[in-house]
């Protein structure tokens, strides 16, 4: 069965999730640590996912999710030679 390009585009958009994060700082392992401002159980699926910026460029991946259940900390490993701005908006895809 073929999917029209508009339906396929709609499917691609539905998988994107904007992450509402507050920047804490850098860990000793050079990971960027954030705190989730909003969280629900379904977001646990983002563990080990690739993180994208507003231009949908790969900037890194989620290394760990830890701390309180309601508002966990998220550790992001930035890819080598990738610029990082903690004020950017971050996105990931949920399969």
Helical ranges in the chain per DSSP H: 5-14
pTM for this prediction: 0.80
pLDDT digits (tens, 9 = 90+) for 41-69: 888 888 999 999 999 999 999 999 999 99
> Above 60 in pLDDT, residue 18?
yes
pLDDT digits (tens, 9 = 90+) for 30-39: 999 999 999 8
Residues 21-93: name the CATH superfamily.
Probable tRNA pseudouridine synthase domain (2.40.10.230)
Give yes or no for a contact between 43 and 69, defined as CB atoms under 8 angstroms apart. no
């Amino acid at each position: 069965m073929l999917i029209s390009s508009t339906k396929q585009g709609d499917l691609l958009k539905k998988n994107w999730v904007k992450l509402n994060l507050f920047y804490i700082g850098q860990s000793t392992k050079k990971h960027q640590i954030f705190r989730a401002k909003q969280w629900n159980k379904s977001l646990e699926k983002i563990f080990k996912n690739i993180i994208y910026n507003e231009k949908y460029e790969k900037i890194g991946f989620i290394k760990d999710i830890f701390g309180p259940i309601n508002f966990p900390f998220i550790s992001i490993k930035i890819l080598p030679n990738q610029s990082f701005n903690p004020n950017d908006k971050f996105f990931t895809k949920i399969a």
